[in-house]
Amino acid sequence: MSTRTSCLLATMLLLTTGSALGQDSGETVQTTRIAEACVVEMRLSAAGCRCLSDRALTDLSDLQREYLLATAISPSAAERMRAQVSQDDIQILAKFLASAGQECSAE
């Protein structure tokens, strides 16, 4: 496992267990981690990934954002979360990635 992946995984664990961060701080950390994972996984520009992470904050629920991040950096964590994620959540995420990915690719 690379150092970058380890850092992203550690951050994901903090996000899922760290309610002490407070909502604004936690959301900022979460959107930053989504943007970082996006650069690696979706191969968008940094600006495109920031666009995608900002959209995730407004378009997705906390659970959907956490699951999106887990699928990108830790498939085993995503698998453990799967029981909490409904089929509707999966469909929302698929539509989100398609639309936000396309819209943000121009950034």
Number of domains making up the chain: 1
Tell me: the pLDDT tens digits for 9-64?
A: 444 433 433 333 344 556 677 777 787 878 777 778 888 888 888 899 899 999 99
Tell me: the pLDDT tens digits for 90-104?
A: 999 999 999 998 898
Taking the complete model, does pTM exceed 0.85, yes or no?
no
> For residue 25, what are the domain limits?
3-104
As a 3-state breakdown, the chain gives helix, strand, coil percent values, each rounded to 5, of 85, 0, 15
pLDDT of residue 42: 76
* Rounded distance between C-alpha atoms, residue 45 and residue 38, angstroms: 9
Owner of token pair 């409904």: 86
In 3D, which of 30, 9, 8 has the Cα closest to residue 19?
30
